[in-house]
Structure 1
Amino acid sequence: MKKPNFIIMLMDNMGYGDAGCFGSLQHRTPNLDHMATEGVKLTSFYSSSGVCTPSRASLMTGCYPRRVNMHVGGSDHECVLFPVNAKGLHPDEKSIATLLREVGYATGIIGKWHLGDQPEFLPTRHGFDSFFGCPYSEDMVPNEQRPGWPLLPLMRDEKVVEAPADRTTLTKRYTEEAQRFIRKNKEQPFFLYLAHAMPGSTDRPFASDGFDGKSANGPYGDAIEELDWSAGEIFRTLQEEGLDENTMVIWTSDNGAVGWMPRQGSNAPLKGWGYTTTEGGQRVPFIARWPGRVAAGAIFDDVATMMDIYPTLAGLAGAEMPADRTIDGHDFMPLLAGDPRAESAYDTRGFFFYYRDQLQAVRAGEWKLYLPLEQKLTNLDGDYSKAKPAVAELYNLRNDIAEQREVAAQHPDVVARLMALADAARAELGDHGFETASQRPAGRVDNPTPRLLGEVIT
């Protein structure tokens, strides 16, 4: 029996309420809406962080960002990796691409990487046969504050082929490259990681001429509607090549929409914005489609996370999970398939919300507890001198998705149980001011160099 193909489509900073099938009344997303009718929609799916680098590290490794020391950037004040950082995902980490390549998969990443721009950390050193995209975020360009940053590099494998990258055409070109990858590898099992740059991290997202100025929500809406077009093109290509029935497609976002002023994206009905540990910061839209294998048209509210994709794909591909390290994710294929016996492992073990190095919240089952903290960090540069005290807040998210009714006083037993889960997480994964033996190191190089047009990496 032929192994299934896998496609992960990951959006950048797209909100929970930005697609029609998740409630948007502004954005036209017919392809995603159709995907939801043919696939399964998860309404309590979480990114492992409110920012890019940690979230993507979890997707690649199946681990909490703190587990692999990718919860912060290259220096104490950086929340994500920046250009020419000495830090990156450790070469010894076994990415999902490495795992799948070992069992015969063609592996490709198209789009945003953001796990290190040094040669040792590039996707081609982490199990991907090919890479076409940018090594970090589309907003990381030279400016008055960062005049020494290199021009935004667009890379093919380990070579910069364009600098600065034309951001207006990234979605279009990434889609066309994805179509070529699918056609090229249609005779063997493949894993395609399509990590779009949009709507992105600037206050004015980019779209190509066919979508620019066409939506009811300005540049942000233009970008969303082009992303929907992209999804439709991927499905069209799968159908044309006869691959539709044997391909699992996952569509989600790396974290919630950012709270720009004036507002652009939407995390409705959730409270909070991207870059935080709020529901709006880390609960993200999720759709999986695989004809005949996932529960078509189903909507499940069980807790699942970005970390679960790793063991799920490994199991479906017949790949052995690494036995020499802890993987935090759980195989959630029974949930996607609609098995009535499926249970979320997080109901008993808890899911933990870290802001940089600080544990700030726990979810287990219907309950989310924001932890009482003497200094709750809310600035991305990690300055604890600005942090203020926070009291415990408990919400029943199944009955109160917008977190309007705080009920800690009414449920001291639930507070105690979730506080105990938080203590166990600290012992395993660490917290502000201390690490544990269960954490693995990030990679580091001594003399980081910029990725420049015309360079030759050896």
Structure 2
Amino acid sequence: MYRSILFAAIAGFCLFRCEISPAATPNFVIIFADDQGYGDLGCFGSEKIKTPNIDRMAKEGRRMTNFMVASPVCTPSRAALLTGCYPKRVGLHEHVLFPQSTKGLNPAEHTIADHLKGLGYATACFGKWHLGHHPETLPRQHGFDTYLGIPYSNDMNHPDNKRKSRVSSDDLWRNPNSAVKYWNTPLVENETIVELPVDQRTVTRRYTDRAIEFIRENQKKPFFVYLPHSMPHIPLYVPEDAYDADPQNAYTCVIEHIDAEVGRLIDTIRALDLAENTYVIYTSDNGPWLQFKNHGGSAGPLRAGKGTTFEGGQRVPCVVWGPGRIPAGTECDELMGTIDLLPSIAALTKSTLPSDRKIDGMNLAHLMTGESGETSRDEFVYYTSRGALEGLRQGKWKLLVKAPPKKKPSAKLKTDTNLPQRMLFDLQADVGEQKNLADAHPERVAELEARMKELDAEITANARPPWTK
């Protein structure tokens, strides 16, 4: 009897040790920029913007060059990242939330933070949330132990989004005091507004300060930090020491400031001797807001930007860093997306996801670590910024079926604008989506359109409701 009890105790202790061993509980940091384009990092081809810290991450880690977000705008994209689902599956596909919105991410959803908190991780979110500003939908209802950040975009005003600035972006940049004069965006700690308006000149640095503080406090246990920066979403602001008064350099200043803050965070992880047990993922929520020109970014070789289902709207830069875990100086051109992070993180922690719900993400951890793996993503569904089904990626092929314009057909147009426009691209040969092959491959178009509708029908039939007030 005594020997049985002793054996059980030893076995239980070993199991406990296995659960908390560094090999099974690596730390995770996800840095999520806002509206940063594919071409806005040195390691992704920018010749103007200097990003030495993120470039070093790439040199010591892995560039993911075929990395997708599930929506070309904020709220749906963030919902997909945290839940591993297409936004339509969790009811947050119909554009972005505003200060007057009455819905948000349902607390019944299982997020990355929920999953890691269940494994004993300390969890924190510092930055732009944009998944509901009501107390029932803020980060602490979704697995995060603590939160500091803005609840929606930095161009939105508390409490009803009225009294918005009509000053030009260039004039706002020339007057840094406009950060607190023309905007009324709140800074929230946990569920309480602690600064109104938030000083957007210093907020990027303050998010990083809190992330560094949190890592220091939790260095002896596994941690997850979600760091969704407010920038470079307009309006653009930086602290005085990073400021160049020329508005033509506004966007460059903001990205270079974010890069410097990433450097501070990585330096902290190194100094605490946590580098070999930490994954840091740097990416963006969607493509660049091109209409703002010198206040918006670049999609590099990709077509279009934010708000579109062209690659420039949804293919984003992604760098994965983890010395000893990620192969240095490598790149991966396999298809992967933010919806795959939750199941991949579960695999990296040797844990299983709940079986009571469908998610769309796949375990593609091997793509991050450079190891061999049997699973791969061959398909990806495209939804518009308003949540309408618009396309399918399958292998190298991408089909977009764009609805006809709502305006009356112009007499000058020879084609029937009442018909949907079908675009077929070979992304392997034409990543810039310049050559429409739809007429040359009608069978392929028909196959992809049928499959696109089939996948959407399943998502629609099994969609779960958002939280509503």
- Shorter-normalised TM-score: what interval? 0.7 to 0.9
In the other structure, the counterpart of 1:358 is 388
Cα deviation for residue 249 of structure 1 reads: 0.4
Aligned to 2:435: 405
Which structure is higher in helix share? 2
Instruction: Please tell me whether the aligned partners of residues 71 and 382 of structure 2 are also in contact (alpha carbons under 8 angstroms).
Output: no
Give the secondary structure class of the aligned counterpart of 2:291.
Answer: coil
- Aligned-partner Cα distance in 2 for 1:341–1:315: 12
One of 389, 395, 402 as aligned partner of 2:425: 395
Alignment of 1:57 with 2:57, yes or no, is: no
Residue 284 of structure 1, CA deviation? 0.4
1:242-261 to structure 2, matched below 5 A, reads: 242-261=273-292
Structure 2 residue aligned with 1:75: none
Asked if the contact 2:103–2:468 (Cα under 8 Å) also holds between the matched residues in 1, the reply is yes
Pairing of 1:309-388 with structure 2 (within 5 A)? 309-341=341-373, 343-345=375-377, 347=378, 349-371=379-401, 373-374=403-404
1:454 alignment partner in structure 2: none
- 1:56-455 to structure 2, matched below 5 A, reads 56-72=78-94, 79-141=95-157, 146-147=162-163, 151-200=184-233, 202=234, 204-213=235-244, 217-263=248-294, 264-341=296-373, 343-345=375-377, 347=378, 349-371=379-401, 373-374=403-404, 389-430=419-460, 436=461, 438-445=462-469
Relative to structure 1, is the Cα distance of residues 249 and 388 closer, same or farther in structure 2, using a 3 angstrom cutoff? Answer: farther
- State the one-letter code of the partner of 2:75: T
Output one character per residue of 1:244-264: Cα deviation in whole Å (capped at 9) or x when no partner: 100000000000000124343
Task: State which of 39, 44, 56 in structure 2 corresponds to 1:22.
Answer: 44
CA distance in 2, matches of 1:351, 1:246: 34
Structure 2 CA distance for partners of 1:143 and 1:271, relative to 1, 3 Å: farther
Tell me how far apart the structure 2 counterparts of residues 83 and 350 of structure 1 sit (CA, whole Å). 31
Structure 2 vs 1, CA of residues 338 and 153 (structure 1 numbering), >3 Å: closer, same or farther?
same
**C-alpha contact 1:57 1:65 (8 A) present in aligned 2:** yes
How far apart are residue 337 of structure 1 and its match? Answer: 1.8
SS at match of 2:436: coil
Partner of 1:384: none
User: For 2:255, what is the secondary structure of its paired residue?
Assistant: helix
Taking the aligned partners of 1:341 and 1:117, their CA distance within structure 2 comes to: 40
Shift of residue 376 of structure 1? Answer: 7.8
SS class of match (1:257): coil
2:125–2:227: 8 Å Cα contact kept in structure 1? yes
Greater mean deviation of Cα atoms: 170-179 or 103-112: 170-179
Tell me which amino acid in the other structure corresponds to 1:423: K
Distance in 1 between residues matched to 2:139 and 2:148, nearest whole Å:
10
More deviation, 218-227/147-156: 147-156
1:1-16 superposed matches below 5 A: 1-2=21-22, 3-16=25-38
Check 1:141–1:294 CA distance in 2 against 1; reply closer, same or farther (3 A cut): same
Q: 2: CA distance between counterparts of 1:389 and 1:417?
A: 19
Contact 2:37 2:298 in 1 (8 A): yes
Larger radius of gyration: 2
Deviates more, 1:102-111 or 1:216-225: 216-225
Q: Which residue in the other structure is 2:179 paired with?
A: none
Is this contact kept in 2: 1:50–1:275, CA < 8 A?
Answer: yes
Q: Which amino acid aligns with 1:257?
A: P
- Counterparts of 2:155 and 2:365 in 1: how far apart (Å)? 35
User: For 2:96, what is the secondary structure of its paired residue?
Assistant: coil
- The alignment's TM-score, normalised by the length of structure 2, stands at 0.85
- Structure 1 residues 92 and 104, CA, compared in 2 at 3 Å: closer, same or farther? same
Instruction: Please show how residues 35-46 of structure 1 align to structure 2 within 5 Å.
Output: 35-46=57-68
Describe the shift of the 1:399–1:145 C-alpha distance in structure 2 as closer, same or farther (beyond 3 A). Answer: same
Instruction: Quote how far apart the aligned CAs of 1:354 are.
Output: 3.6
Q: Secondary structure at the match of 1:28?
A: coil
Matches of 1:406 and 1:442, distance apart in 2: 37
Indicate conservation of the 8 Å contact 1:353/1:362, yes or no: no
CA contact (8 A) 1:248 1:288 kept: yes
Q: Is the 8 A contact 1:360 1:376 kept in 2?
A: no
Partners of 1:11 and 1:195 within 8 A in 2:
yes
Q: Do 2:243 and 2:253's aligned partners in 1 also have CA atoms closer than 8 Å? A: yes
Report the Cα distance in structure 1 between the residues aligned to 2:287 and 2:374, rounded to whole angstroms: 27
Assess if the C-alpha contact under 8 Å between 2:309 and 2:382 holds in 1. Answer: no
Once the two structures are TM-superposed, the CA of residue 355 in structure 1 deviates from its matched residue by 3.5
Post-superposition shift, 1:410? 2.5
- Partner amino acid, structure 2, of 1:68: V
CA distance in structure 1 between the partners assigned to 2:74 and 2:268 by the alignment:
29
Structure 1 residue 425: Cα displacement: 1.8
5+ residue gaps, structure 2, are 1-20, 166-182, 408-416
Residue 452 of structure 2 aligns to which amino acid in structure 1? A
Among the aligned pairs, what percent are the same residue? 42
CA contact (8 A) 1:269 1:402 kept: yes
Secondary structure of 2:241's partner? coil
Distance 2:355 2:405 in 1: 38
Gaps in structure 1 of 5+ consecutive residues: 73-78, 378-386, 431-435, 446-458
Matches of 1:343 and 1:326 in 2, distance apart? Answer: 18
Name the SS of the counterpart of 1:41 in structure 2: strand
Coordinate RMSD, CA, aligned: 2.2
Deviations 1:97-142 (CA, angstroms, capped at 9, x unpaired): 0111011000000001000000100101111000011111111026
SS at match of 1:112: coil
